A and B are shown apart, each in its own frame.
Chain A
Amino acid sequence: SQTIHQWPATLVQPVGSPLSLECTVEGTSNPNLYWYRQAAGRGLQLLFYSVGIGQISSEVPQNLSASRPQDRQFILSSKKLLLSDSGFYLCAWNAGKSTDTQYFGPGTRLTVL
């Protein structure tokens, strides 16, 4: 069966520091991968998605970037964190077909101080 992992689970970082959040999927090949940010009362905002290795689409211009160095690995990064980057970051995957459901990881709670 397929599983999705995210780490770290929680992270506290100072303003201006770099960020690297990792997401990996097991049990499937060539998934579509997604990064969302969830803010209280604002739902889920799609940040990036990827349909294959090295293919990244950005939905929202911001201080963050994403990379997909391997088929089942998706990384969210920042060179310099801002206070406004605080939030709950969710990774998700689906099999890429139009009828597929997205499955979400456990999330990373990021606090920027």
Chain B
Amino acid sequence: AQSVSQHNHHVILSEAASLELGCNYSYGGTVNLFWYVQYPGQHLQLLLKYFSGDPLVKGIKGFEAEFIKSKFSFNLRKPSVQWSDTAEYFCAVRDGGSQGNLIFGKGTKLSVKP
């Protein structure tokens, strides 16, 4: 069965620090990859996604993620975080060859200190 691992449960950064959140998945075939974000008190919303093409994907609010097939990874990055980036971040994977359901990681809570 597919699984998604997010290595950090809680990350605490100061504003302007760089961010990298790890995500690894177990499925060996074609995959669709997603990062979702849940700001305090708000809906879970899509940050960015990868289906095919350029493995470096740019999302909203200055976030990007790189798909590295050989490492089964899809790490999320942002060069300089802001206090408003405080949220919980979820990585998700889906078997790209079917209408398979999303498998989510356990989430990483990011706290940015002003």
Contacts and interface: CB of A to CB of B under 8 A. Distances in A.
A60 B56 CA distance: 34
Interface in B1-56: 6, 9, 32, 34, 36, 43-46, 49, 51
B70 interface: no
Interface residues of B, number: 24
A102 B102 contact: yes
B101 A49 contact: yes
A45 B103 CA distance: 8
A106 B43 contact: yes
Given A98-B96, A99-B51, A101-B34, A43 B43 contact: no
Nearest to A51: B99
B46 A101 contact: yes
B74 interface: no
B36 to A, nearest CB: 8
B20 to A, nearest CB: 19
A45 B43 CA distance: 16
Interface string A81-113: 000000000101000111101111111000000
Given A90-B44, A101-B49, 17 more contacts: A36-B104, A41-B9, A43-B6, A43-B90, A44-B44, A44-B104, A46-B102, A46-B103, A51-B99, A59-B101, A96-B99, A98-B97, A102-B102, A103-B46, A104-B36, A104-B45, A105-B43
Interface of B: 6, 9, 32, 34, 36, 43-46, 49, 51, 90, 92, 96-99, 101-107
